[in-house]
């Protein structure tokens, strides 16, 4: 039996205009950085994508190198599921991918040259079985390639029809403004900036990135909103054997889970419970309600996690008292 989406999928999910554009993004977007490789459970992947869409999550975010150890396998798996299960709903989806980090050996498979970006997008489209993506990002700044070349490649990608919009990721404040000015001079708008941002990682505020993004009319989407699971209840009683912190190949170093940090997390968890939320839900709500991002990009390992995260959009407001108390805890006062 073919998949039929939930008829009420748009009833509770908020949709926000992405910067100065006509494109709306769901408050919650699904990232496929983890759990969509060739080593992961294909049935579980399918369930997660269906569950997300049924909850009004219309934005699915990938990159050329997602799915390691086989870079690109996340796009391949997503493409298979899209073709066999979700193809009838393609026009209701925003699909994004990126290039900028290492993808293939030699001098042309990394950073921001015109050759790399265009070649990478062509390969991504082939893996996913698509004629275009909705958003194509340059994934990180390139210290050697002229910014005009990188932005020129993004402009040509839009004009070729291979992407409807373009964005940037992991750019600093100064380069964000420069990139938007260059694109504007070419008749293309930088739609969105994908940035690492969470209650525990506020560097985009401290460095002026979020202000520069909003000032330029660029939308914002936060990745790692739960700090690789720290902003959840999974580490309150130690490090579970099946958690990311317990795995050798991970961005989360267990040595960073200090007693001071875990105490801070416990205090944040107490506030979440008082609000009638899980800690993960409050962390997502905070980014949307206080951090003022367009969308929060979450990863998941199960449909249950997606359902829990999606419930965060039902409670986005914070009182002044809550905001002050959270700031006190976060700053370790």
Is the pLDDT at 238 greater than 60? The verdict is: yes
pLDDT, tens digit (0-9, with 9 covering 90-100), for 87-118: 999 999 999 999 999 999 999 999 999 999 99
- Dig out the tokens for 282 from the structure: 């409050």
Of the pLDDT bands very low, low, confident and very high (cuts 50, 70, 90), residue 203 is: very high
Of the pLDDT bands very low, low, confident and very high (cuts 50, 70, 90), residue 236 is: confident
Question: Domains of the chain by range and CATH?
Answer: 15-234+282-314 (3.20.20.100)
pLDDT for the residue numbered 244: 53
pLDDT for the residue numbered 257: 80
Is the pLDDT at 186 greater than 80? The verdict is: yes
More confident residue, 258 or 66: 66
Residue labelled with tokens 């293939």: 104
C-alpha distances out from residue 61 to 66, 207, 208, 293, 329, Å: 10, 25, 25, 16, 32
Is the pLDDT at 248 greater than 80? The verdict is: no
Is the pLDDT at 242 greater than 70? The verdict is: no
* φ/ψ (deg, to 5) at 93: -115, 150
Could you tell me which residues are beta bridge partners of residue 24?
17
Task: In whole angstroms, give the CA distance from residue 191 to residue 18.
Answer: 7
Give the 3-state secondary structure of residue 161: coil
Nearest to 318 by CA among 293, 269, 278, 283: 283
pLDDT for the residue numbered 253: 57
Residues 159-174 have a mean pLDDT of 98
Of the pLDDT bands very low, low, confident and very high (cuts 50, 70, 90), residue 179 is: very high
Is the pLDDT at 249 greater than 70? The verdict is: no
Number of CB atoms found within 10 A of residue 217's CB = 15
Residues 116-135 have a mean pLDDT of 98
- Check if the beta carbon of residue 169 is closer than 8 Å to that of residue 194: yes
Of the pLDDT bands very low, low, confident and very high (cuts 50, 70, 90), residue 235 is: confident
Q: What is the dihedral of CA 28, 134, 10, 53, to 10 degrees?
A: -70
Q: How far apart are the first and last CA of the chain?
A: 56
pLDDT for the residue numbered 295: 98
Helix axes 114-128, 147-160, angle to 10 degrees: 40
The verdict on whether omega for the bond into residue 69 sits within 30 degrees of 0, i.e. cis, is yes
pLDDT for the residue numbered 137: 98
Buried b vs exposed e over 226-259: b needs ≥16 C-beta within 10 Å?
bbbbbbbebbeeeeeeebbbeeeeeebeeeebee
């Amino acid at each position: 039996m073919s998949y039929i989406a939930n008829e009420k999928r748009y009833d509770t999910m908020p949709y926000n205009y992405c910067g100065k554009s006509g494109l709306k993004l769901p408050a919650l977007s699904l990232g496929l950085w983890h759990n969509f490789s060739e080593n992961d459970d294909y049935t579980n992947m399918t369930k997660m994508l269906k569950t997300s869409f049924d909850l009004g999550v219309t934005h699915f975010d990938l990159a050329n190198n997602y799915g390691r150890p086989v870079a690109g396998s996340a796009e391949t798996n997503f493409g298979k599921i899209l073709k066999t299960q979700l193809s009838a709903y393609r026009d209701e989806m925003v699909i994004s991918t990126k290039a900028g980090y290492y993808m293939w050996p030699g001098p042309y498979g990394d950073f921001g040259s015109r050759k790399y970006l265009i070649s990478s997008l062509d390969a991504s489209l082939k893996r996913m079985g698509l004629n275009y993506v909705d958003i194509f990002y340059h994934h990180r700044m390139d210290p050697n390639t002229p910014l005009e070349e990188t932005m020129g490649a993004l402009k040509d990608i839009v004009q070729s029809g291979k992407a409807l919009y373009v964005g940037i990721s992991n750019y600093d404040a100064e380069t964000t403004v420069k990139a938007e000015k260059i694109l504007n001079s070419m008749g293309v708008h930088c739609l969105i900036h994908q940035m690492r941002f969470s209650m525990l990682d506020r560097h985009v505020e401290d460095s002026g990135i979020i202000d520069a993004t909003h000032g330029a009319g660029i939308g914002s989407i936060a990745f790692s909103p739960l700090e690789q699971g720290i902003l959840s209840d999974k580490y309150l009683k130690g490090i579970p054997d099946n958690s990311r912190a317990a795995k050798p190949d991970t961005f989360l170093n267990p040595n960073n889970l200090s007693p001071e940090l875990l105490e801070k997390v416990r205090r944040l968890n107490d506030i979440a419970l008082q609000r009638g939320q899980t800690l993960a839900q409050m962390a997502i709500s905070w980014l949307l309600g206080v951090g003022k991002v367009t969308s929060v990009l979450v990863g998941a390992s199960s449909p249950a996690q997606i359902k829990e995260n999606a419930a965060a959009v039902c409670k986005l407001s914070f009182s002044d008292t809550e905001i002050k108390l959270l700031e006190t805890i976060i700053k370790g006062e």
